[in-house]
Amino acid sequence: MSSTQDIILLGPPGAGKGTQASRLASRLGVPHISTGDLFRQNLREQTPVGLMAKGFMDRGLLVPDEVVCDMVRDRLELEDASSGSLLDGFPRTIPQAQALEGMLRRLGRRVDRVLFFDAQDATLVERIAGRLTCSACSAAFHTTFAPPKVAGVCDKCGKAGLAVRSDDAEAAVRARLAEYRSKTQPLLAHYTEAGCLRVINAEQAIATVESALATALAAN
């Protein structure tokens, strides 16, 4: 295996990818690249990409492939991603997966592992319903499963900006699950065929999922 590692976290909204991602990324020594976080950051900074993405995000729809792929291509070229990446929420469509393969090929790399977060719809809805997101740094919390130390205040950046994401409202969640089923689920067959998919039982407690991820990464 190459010394760089490019790993994808794949799964429906609310499966817990974001919760696991930052700790896993620091353990692996690679940046956590969340396309959702990048869009939210662009939106806070009122960039053209952020403003165009907002219309799709608020309705629970995927942002067009070209926009997402350009953003990821730029991000993968930054110095901190020279030793690999932990991709969270990308790719989400077959064309995005193909574009990623091209980006990595040009860097002499490939997708090493795809960790699929498997969870039932009822679990996803329960997790999304209690989710609080920091409007300053995008860190995610949950009212029951991962509450902040001080109510309303982000443990990570210390700002008092915890709020319900606009796309966590019920209608947008339904649209996001439908987008996931029609556009993202086909990636399971794609990566199974490529031999790099590992299924993680994401119904389990946070610490148990964390060990399952470590085991899946250690095994050949």
Residue identified by tokens 């070209």 is 66
| CB of 56 or CB of 145, closer to ligand AMP | 56
Task: Locate 78 and state its tokens.
Answer: 């930054």
- For 175, counting Cβ atoms within 10 Å of its Cβ (0-12 exposed, 13-18 middle, 19+ buried), the class is middle
Residue type for position 62: L
| 167 counts as binding ligand AMP under rule CB under 6 A | yes
Count of residues touching ligand AMP (by CB under 6 A): 17
- Residue 92 annotated among the catalytic residues of the structure: yes
State which of residues 89, 117, 124, 142 lies at the interface with ligand AMP (CB under 6 A): 89
Task: Locate 167 and state its tokens.
Answer: 């796309």
Q: Where does residue 195 fall: left (phi above 0), alpha (psi -120 to 50 degrees), or beta otherwise?
A: left
DSSP 34-93: EHHHHHHHHHHTT-HHHHHHHHHHHTTPPPPHHHHHHHHHHHHTSGGGTTEEEEES---S
| CB of 140 or CB of 213, closer to ligand AMP | 140
**CA dist., res. 65 & res. 184, Å (int):** 12
- Residue 165 annotated among the catalytic residues of the structure: yes
Print the binding letters for residues 15-44 with ligand AMP: x by CB under 6 A, - otherwise. --------------------xx--x-----
Identified catalytic residue from 54, 92, 109, 127: 92
Identified catalytic residue from 40, 54, 127, 176: 176
| 92 counts as binding ligand AMP under rule CB under 6 A | yes
**Which of these segments, 84-92, 100-108, 155-163, 200-208, binds ligand AMP (CB under 6 A)?**
84-92
| 62 counts as binding ligand AMP under rule CB under 6 A | yes
Select the residue whose beta carbon is closest to ligand AMP and give its number.
36
Q: Where does residue 85 fall: left (phi above 0), alpha (psi -120 to 50 degrees), or beta otherwise?
A: beta
- Residue 174 annotated among the catalytic residues of the structure: no
Q: In the complex, which residues of this chain contact ligand AMP (CB under 6 A)?
A: 13, 35-36, 39, 56-57, 60-63, 68, 89-90, 92, 96, 167, 176
Which residues are annotated as catalytic? Answer: 17, 92, 131, 165, 176
